[in-house]
Structure 1
Amino acid sequence: MRDYEKIRSAIIRGGTSKGVFILKNDLPADPESRDKVILSIYGGTDERQIDGLGGADSLTSKLAIINVSPRPDVDIEFTFGQVGIGTGTIDYNSNCGNILSGVGPFAVDEGLVAVQKPYTKVRILNTNTNTIIEAAVPVSSGKAVTKGNYTIDGVPGKGAKIVLNFLHADGSKTGKLFPTGNRKEVLHTKAGNFDVSIVDVAAPAVFVQAEQLGLNGTEMHTDLTAEQLHILEMIRSSAANKIGFVTRKEEATKVTPSSPKIVIVSPSQTYTNISGETIEQQTIHLTARAMSMQKMHKTFPVTGGICTATAAKLKGTVVYECSIHHHNDEFIIGHPSGSMEFSIRCKDNGQQVELDKTAVARTSRRLMEGYAYVPKELFWNEAESIY
């Protein structure tokens, strides 16, 4: 008798991230057993994840659980999991827009949605935030198209353009565009007081200007000291406490390590990216650095980017204060690997904000499909099989 079970899965690059995609029905229904199985797939508590499919990096230690939705207004339900590296935990408190870009193609290729040419519109419910995203997936011969001419910084080569439109994205997790009711406020931490804006569009995020941290805003992931990383996490933890994600700020790193996101913003600047290329000041509207699981994101998160680009259009926020403004929908953020373009259309009279469009384009590619092997005993809850 074999001592393992097989879980059908696919490894897919979505945007600048990579994750394992699994159908919900192929996982245990019991949440505790499910997470034990998932952690085994990724390599358990080993920081190298050598005995699993994780890549020992927060951008490649991601999970997508997929099922066909019973709701008439939605095609697919997508649950995102950020699998901790060496922590033995999975954070389900936030969405990931990069992994989201692989959900539409996955649904098409798995035959979970009716296919239409040349684009299939897949209505996706993100269960983490209870928001709906429409993905326009290019198709040919009944399958998602991979090849194309669209490029995104942080991914080599070109791919087929997938447009993600976040519907009613404000208050995605907290129910409010400004979770504390303020466009700008002071957070008090042991490291000092910081002017921040806490905004929730597609995902909640706390924004702080680089100069308040003693930074110039063009730092790379290797430039931040342990002390600076600690200060950033203190700010993020204080924000998590203030919006009710945790009862004590000291719990935030363990309980909700990926949400809210924290983003460092500064005016548009000329800098050299990770690949040694020059990003010219006049080609971007804002310079920003996002944190991912207590480390600097090597590119930029999609949901965090939607939130950043929207906050840049809202008067009174710390993001608005250092952004270049215009009347076009296009907004470009400069990040460590290059730049990222968003399409944001909103009306703001100072009292009420109406979001008409919050969209971004990505690419995706299925890298492999097959079975993940999981120890058989993980499918047993105490002495009783969960199946």
Structure 2
Amino acid sequence: MFTLRGTWMRGGTSKCWLFNAVDIDPYIADAGGLDAILTAAFGSGDPRQLDGVGGGSSTTSKAAIVRRSATPGIDVDYLFAQVAVENRTVEWGSNCGNCATAIGLYAVQAGLVPVGNTVTVVRMRNENTGAILAADIATPGGRVPTEGDAAVPGTTALGVPVGLTFTDLAADRVSLLPTGEAVDRIELDGKEYRGTLVRAGAPAALFDASDLGLGGSEPNDVLGLHLPVLVALRRQAALRMGLSAPDEPITHAIPKVGVVGPPRDYRTTAGVDVDAADYDISVRMLSMMAPHPAIGLTSAVAVAAAATVSGGVVATNARIGWPGSIRIGTAAGVLDVDIALDSAGLLHSVTLRRAVRRIATAELFVAVPSPILAKVGS
């Protein structure tokens, strides 16, 4: 057993354990060692993660290793880990926007970046995907915030307002659409499903809800009934997008997969009625092997990017209220997203606003398998 220092933070609708690289690097020699340390710390292998700090769900079983960056123009690099709940495995192929907002505030609070007199901008690089993000935090008079009154759909908890911008998302149509098609048609058991496959924020496969007999605004328990089809569609999308080879193990992290439909009246999981006129596109996403309670920020970026693809399933179903934005109707409520295009009309950046709070700083007592302990002690 060894002691690992960490910081527990909520970013939007996710909770994430953040580890400074200087604290965790001495304990790992390779990715296998890091997998073992994180799954032990989180208590994975148990659906309740009872013997660790995981929360028993995909949105509360996340970690990131943060370090000062040696890259000019970048303040911090971070490696994101989606720690499995029931299995002792870690997915390394994706990013998490909610955790990225938490990392932005963490970098300011931990002194990893100099604090500005009005606003502090933290430039971050996600090591998993190479994505560049910028978090902006108000620091009036050079004061570092510890609490705030910002709110987001999916939780009543308040936090420090943090703006998160994903930049340089699609230099051209080829980089945005890995298959080159606005609509990919995937056949399963004699039925065709239409989807737009994009790389922006995170690789995502967004399917027309009507092909599954859905409208796109259903409660998550209804979406859950279609889980086997969506998992099969994700596998086929991964093959088409070059994210996996036919003989490789199936990953449940990427691409992100979900359904989209036109705006309709619906009721959120909190019992709030949402009028169809108050948003632009219905979206329901999976997270790992279950319906997402809201939407991951990287998935929201993918939806915003797909909305710029003429003829794609998102653009076809969306009813855009005004240029430069899209309002996404999720199971938890409506998420506002700002979209910026460059002079050529290509997607340049997507900005979302979240609420962040530091919950705890702690010393975790981690009991790892004996082969890893031997490595730690060497």
TM-score (normalised: structure 2)? 0.93
Report the equivalent of 2:209. 210
More helix by share: 2
Does 367-376 or 55-64 show the bigger shift? Answer: 367-376
Report the equivalent of 2:230. 232
2: distance between equivalents of 1:71 and 1:386?
32
* 1:257 and 2:252 aligned: yes
Report the equivalent of 2:163. 163
SS in 2 for 1:151: strand
Unaligned ranges ≥5, structure 1: none
Report the equivalent of 1:346. 341
2: distance between equivalents of 1:39 and 1:141?
41
Report the CA distance between 1:326 and its aligned residue.
Answer: 4.8
Give runs of ≥4 in structure 1 deviating > 4 Å: 140-143, 376-379, 383-387
Does 319-328 or 235-244 show the bigger shift? Answer: 319-328
Aligned residues of 1:171 and 1:178 also touching (Cα < 8 A): no
Match of 1:243 among 241, 244, 252: 241
How many residue pairs match? The answer is: 375
Aligned residues of 2:118 and 2:142 also touching (Cα < 8 A): no
* 1:370 and 2:362 aligned: yes
Report the equivalent of 1:103. 103
Unaligned ranges ≥5, structure 2: none
> Aligned partner of 1:161: which letter?
P
* 1:19 and 2:11 aligned: no
Aligned residues of 2:83 and 2:91 also touching (Cα < 8 A): yes
Q: Deviations over 1:132-159 (max 9, x none)?
A: 1111012367664243343211121433
Does 137-146 or 191-200 show the bigger shift? Answer: 137-146
Aligned residues of 2:186 and 2:194 also touching (Cα < 8 A): yes
Q: Deviations over 1:19-53 (max 9, x none)?
A: 11111232223221111111111003111100001
Aligned residues of 2:15 and 2:61 also touching (Cα < 8 A): yes
> Aligned partner of 1:210: which letter?
A
Question: 1:277-288, aligned counterparts within 5 Å?
Answer: 277-288=272-283
Report the CA distance between 1:163 and its aligned residue.
Answer: 0.8
Q: Deviations over 1:203-228 (max 9, x none)?
A: 111111111101122222222354x1
Report the equivalent of 1:320. 315
Root-mean-square deviation (Å): 2.3
Report the equivalent of 1:32. 32
Q: Deviations over 1:284-339 (max 9, x none)?
A: 01111011002111111101101102211221110000101355212110100111
Report the CA distance between 1:386 and its aligned residue.
Answer: 6.5
1: distance between equivalents of 2:216 and 2:143?
42
SS in 2 for 1:101: helix
Does 152-161 or 335-344 show the bigger shift? Answer: 152-161
Report the equivalent of 1:116. 116
> Aligned partner of 2:281: which letter?
L
> Aligned partner of 2:346: which letter?
E
Report the CA distance between 1:76 and its aligned residue.
Answer: 0.3
Match of 2:289 among 275, 285, 294: 294
- Identity level (%): 29
Change (3 A) 1:224 1:314: closer
